[in-house]
Structures are given as C-alpha cells and as structure tokens.
C-alpha cells in the first residue's frame, strides 16, 4: 500500500487493514515507521470525519448515549452493569450521578476511557 492521505471510507478501511498487518512492529524499523505514519493519517481522517466536541455539551451521559446508539450497547446492558434497570434509567435521564464504582464497571466492560465518564455534569431534579 502506498502511503497517501486518507480521503474516503474505502481509504480508511484499507489503512486500518494495513495497520493491523503491521501492529507490533518494532520502533525505528521501516515497518514501525510505516505503522506510525498510518496511525497519524487515520487519526487525522477520523478527527475530521467524526469530530468530538468537548465542551459544555459533551458529558458522561452523552458518552453513554453514544455507546448505546452508535456502538451497539443497550440500556439493558447498562442496567446489568449498574445492578438495576431503574438505576440505569436514572443515570440516562440525568436524575442520578455516576459513582466511581459505576464508572469503573462501565469503562472496563464497554472499553470507554474513564476520563470521558468522570467529567462533572448537571443532575436534573425530579418534579
């Protein structure tokens, strides 16, 4: 594969396949250098294609909703991790805050960086 900018989803898939083929290459070798370049190109493409806005509108509940809507997880899975359906519902409706234990369980099971789940967010009060 010739290394060139990634402009399409097809280019992206090809680069990911190439990365997988070179994964674990020793640093400083031709193969390792190729891996570093491909990783940088994929990172640039993904940042442009799927930007993540980090700011007031990006909080742990948004991360959980993204995981459920886009990454194939479900509210039932979240309920199982947290111990009950009502607790999962309260978290997703912003009526209950995530605890450190919850963050750890979600991060481990769903492979979400804990740093994305520890940000402070506003809790809605029940009516």
Do 71 and 106 lie in a common domain? yes
| Orientation angle between helical segments 60-70 and 85-92, nearest 10 degrees | 110
**How many structural domains is the chain composed of?**
2
- pLDDT digit string (tens) for 103-113? 999 999 998 88
Do 44 and 78 lie in a common domain? no
| pLDDT in the model for residue 52 | 62
pTM (two decimals): 0.56
Confidence of residue 58 (pLDDT cuts 50, 70, 90): confident
What does the alpha-carbon distance between residue 49 and residue 33 come to, in Å, rounded to a whole number?
A: 24
Do 93 and 64 lie in a common domain? yes
- In whole numbers, what is the pLDDT of the chain averaged over residues? 87
Q: Which residues of 79-88 are buried (b: 16+ CB within 10 A; e: fewer)?
A: bebbeeeeeb
Q: What is the dihedral of CA 114, 105, 50, 43, to 10 degrees?
A: 60
96-101's contacts with Cβ under 8 Å and 24+ in sequence apart are: 96/123, 97/121, 97/123, 98/60
Q: Is the pLDDT of residue 27 over 70?
A: yes
């Amino acid at each position: 594969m010739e290394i060139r900018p990634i402009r399409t989803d097809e280019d992206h898939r090809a680069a990911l396949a190439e990365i997988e083929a070179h994964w674990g290459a020793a640093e400083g070798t031709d193969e390792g250098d190729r891996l570093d370049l491909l990783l940088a190109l994929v990172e640039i493409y993904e940042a442009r294609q799927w930007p993540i806005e980090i700011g007031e509108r990006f909080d742990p509940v948004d991360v959980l909703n993204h995981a459920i809507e886009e990454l194939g997880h479900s509210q039932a899975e979240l309920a199982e991790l947290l111990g009950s359906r009502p607790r999962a519902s309260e978290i997703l409706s912003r009526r209950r805050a995530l605890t450190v234990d919850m963050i750890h369980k979600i991060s481990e099971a769903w492979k979400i960086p804990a740093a994305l789940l520890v940000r402070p967010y506003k809790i809605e009060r029940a009516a």
